Amino acid sequence: MQSPKRGGFTLVELLVVIAIIGTLVGLLLPAVQAARESARRSQCSNNLKQQGLAFQNHHDALQAFPNGGAGTSWWANPYNAETWGHSQWVRLLPYMEEGAMYGRLKFNAKGSTPVGFSSGWDGNAAVWQDKRIKMLICPSSSLQRNPAWNNFISSYYGIAGATPMQFGPQPTGRFQSTEGMAFNDDGAWGITSGRGMVPNYGNGTAGVSADACGPQILGINMARCTDGTSKTLLVGEMSEMVFDATGANGQDRRPSRNWGWHMGGLSGWRDWAPHTNNVTLRYPPNARVLNQQGVDDWTAWADASPANPPLTSAHPGGVMTLRVDGSVQFLGDNVDMETMTLLAIRDDRMNFSAD
């Protein structure tokens, strides 16, 4: 007896089915990618909200925000009296569910000479080593760490202020600080400012106390945010590469990329000198300004931190930001430069639309 014939697909039918499946995948893939990016952006927004709560709780406890880096010092420079401090994230550790890490710190502990600053630049190297703070990492970022330095780097930076309009000299009139010194054009690192909510210095004199409990560990309080807490930036996202004018040659220009999320600034330098975990806004978000002043490192010292890299993000169209009142806002790439400048300065007393 002959066995019955088995039906099957012809080659043409199989190719048609494959083509249909490929078309469906092509249609669905952008939607899937968009959904994933929406979830990542939501997580980034949640990170900033958690940071906002940490700032607010720190302010409730100590009546001030932490400063951006000229607080307590861990290593004394043998060549002069300047000393390195910590970033605002260190002071916020107890308010970011990292109390155990904060409890291990030895303030003012001296480490080895920081050749390259790769490991022994302070007496707390073992505490910082390879420590990732989840709420400081944007899930969309491709720049999560620098393996050469073995430290995790933040995706978020305190706003130290902004440069004057047209990048001019010491400002007068509408951009003049009510507190005297406002901007400094250092040339090597770019233009630095202390008129934002997370400047390099504390709330005392220009110098920094060696006492870990001294007033310099604190920064600006909300009473000095005379523009209003809903109209002043506190933290901005910096989680993607900066490109040149052609859109090529992207590089990581985050100020702390060689140090990590814990690194602060130098004492006694006040408004000027490099930032590490804060930034003075000078260019629009995601601006193609690689090789411009304040974006590249000082060529005489490749490890110095630039003061003016733009806020960057993998989120299409702009960057996520946190304001002093704890609200999270999306700042578009096409934001008016004057609006961005006024958002970054806490005491310009100028009326503008913050939306």
CA distance linking residue 220 with residue 302, whole number of Å: 31
Do the domain assignments include residue 352?
A: no
Read off the DSSP letter of residue 177: -
Do the domain assignments include residue 311?
A: yes
CA distance linking residue 308 with residue 90, whole number of Å: 22
Q: At which residue do the structure tokens 């409990």 appear?
A: 213
Instruction: Summarize pLDDT for 48-85 with one digit per residue, the tens.
Output: 999 999 999 999 998 999 888 754 444 444 444 445 67
Do the domain assignments include residue 12?
A: no
For the chain, the residue count is 355
Do the domain assignments include residue 349?
A: no
Instruction: Summarize pLDDT for 163-219 with one digit per residue, the tens.
Output: 865 433 444 444 444 443 456 666 667 888 888 999 876 544 333 333 333 334 678
Q: What's the average model confidence in pLDDT over 229-250?
A: 93
Identify the burial level of 229 via C-beta atoms within 10 angstroms of its C-beta, where 0-12 means exposed, 13-18 middle and 19 or more buried: middle
pLDDT for residue 84: 64
Do the domain assignments include residue 277?
A: yes
pTM to 2 decimal places: 0.81
Q: At which residue do the structure tokens 């930032």 appear?
A: 275
Do the domain assignments include residue 42?
A: yes
Q: At which residue do the structure tokens 């494959």 appear?
A: 18
What is the extent of the structural domain holding 340? 31-344
Structural domain count of the chain: 1
Average pLDDT, the chain: 76
The backbone torsions φ and ψ at residue 193, rounded to the nearest 5 degrees and listed phi first, read: -140, 155
Do the domain assignments include residue 340?
A: yes
Do the domain assignments include residue 184?
A: yes
Instruction: Summarize pLDDT for 325-340 with one digit per residue, the tens.
Output: 999 999 999 998 888 9
Least confident of 120-124, 170-174, 225-229, 242-246: 170-174
